[in-house]
Every structure is written in C-alpha cells, then in structure tokens.
Amino acid sequence: MLRWDAPAFGPPFELWREEGILHLVLAPGAQLRTSDMKELIRLIAAMDRGGRTPVMIDHATGVVVPDDARRLLTRVCSAQGHPIAVYTTDALCRKQLEVFRLVDRPRFPFRIFGQRDEAWRWIRERKQLASMERDARSSG
C-alpha cells in the first residue's frame, strides 16, 4: 500500500473571491515571507485585473509579516488602491496593525475591526462606492 504523508508545510493563506470581494484568510502562526507576499500579490492580480476590488482579511493570531514583505504589500496596494478591511480578535495583532496604520500610513482605504460583521459591512460599502464611481465614469 502506498504511504501518504501530509505536506511538510501548509500555505500561509487562502484567497478566494466571494460576492465581488476578495477574501484572504491568514493561517494561525503564519510566516508571510517576501516570496509568500509575491505569490499573494500575483493571485490578487489574477483575480482582479482592475486592481480595485475590496479585500477582506481574516487575520489569525501569531501571524508574522517581516518589514520587507510588509513594505512590498504596501507599495503594491498603494499603487492599486484596494480598500482593505482587517478582522482580528487578537489584541497584539490589533496593536501591530494600528502601528502599521500610523507609521506606514497606507494611501489606500484601510480599517481594522474586532467584529467580523462590522468589517464585512465596511468592505461592502467600499464595493458599493467603487461600483457607483464606475457607473458615474461610464455615464459621464
């Protein structure tokens, strides 16, 4: 009988499109290296050719994003303008995200939430605003 072993490592994230929103889930304790960030950026670009689809992030506890990977993501998101909602229940994670928001000062809509329903409401509002702006450009 063929013996099967689970992979030595799992992906640090999952990404899918749902109701016109990109949903990113970070695995607990994930290490998002620069190579992981590049792969994530490629996947987002493949799923969103226009570069403006809102992104909902479920940020698990213990996720580590080194400075170089964070700077890469910030640069790409600033150029594209994806609105980003981050949901986390972890207090340390929330503090780190607030430091990111204050120090890196992203040039794209970025909010941090402790309640998933609030995050979804905000990200859906961003989707509606983007849709209204598209409609206004196409009709005017």
Q: Give the largest CA-CA distance in the chain.
A: 67
Which residue ranges make up each domain of the chain?
A: 13-139
Residue 7 confidence (pLDDT): 44
Q: Taking residues 12-31, what's their average pLDDT?
A: 90
Q: Please state the pTM of the whole predicted model.
A: 0.82
Residue 65 Cα to chain centre, angstroms: 12
Alpha helices in the chain (DSSP H): 34-47, 67-80, 91-103, 116-139
Distance CA 5, CA 61 (A): 27
CATH fold for the domain made of 13-139: Transcription Regulator spoIIAA (3.30.750)
Q: Cβ(55)–Cβ(84) under 8 Å?
A: yes
